[in-house]
Amino acid sequence: MHRILALTLLLLGFLAAPALAGDGLAGADWVLQGETGERGPFLRFENGSVSGLGGCNRFGGKYKLDGDRLSFSPLMSTRMACRPDLMKKEQAFFDMLGKVQEAKLGDGTLELLDGEGKVLAIFTKRAAD
């Protein structure tokens, strides 16, 4: 009886595990392709939340992935001031995230697309710290 109960609980644990763990996004930082250095924009997905760095400020919010459909809630960010060129680049990054409607996962890459299928950005997978 205890063995059946233990197996049932184990099976329920697997079934109840968040689907996000299997969405391919969690467990890594997604670094904007072409960026180098520790201040480069990146995304981190975990348990329905997204966070990261825009290039100057840290940000966070929620995301929803339904098949290939990806959407972000309004994102909150810190309000640190950086060089004007970094601030402009960061604002473009945040504006791009607001246009995302689709995601395509490849072998170590994440493409974010708009509603017309145009690639907005490509990210490269890096193990999370």
CATH number of domain containing 81: 2.40.128.270
Q: Confirm whether 97 is domain-assigned.
A: yes
* Mean pLDDT, residues 32-51 taken together: 87
Q: Confirm whether 89 is domain-assigned.
A: yes
Containing domain of residue 115, as a range? 19-127
Predicted confidence at residue 24, as pLDDT, reads 85
Residue 9 has pLDDT above 70, yes or no: no
Residue 101 CB-half CA count within 13 A: 6
How many domains does one find in the chain?
A: 1
Predicted confidence at residue 5, as pLDDT, reads 31
- Greater pLDDT, 101 or 21: 101
Q: Confirm whether 75 is domain-assigned.
A: yes
Strands (E), 20-101: 28-32, 42-46, 49-53, 58-66, 69-72, 76-77
Residue 16 has pLDDT above 50, yes or no: no
How does DSSP classify residue 99?
A: H
Residue 129 has pLDDT above 80, yes or no: no
Longest dimension (CA), the chain: 67
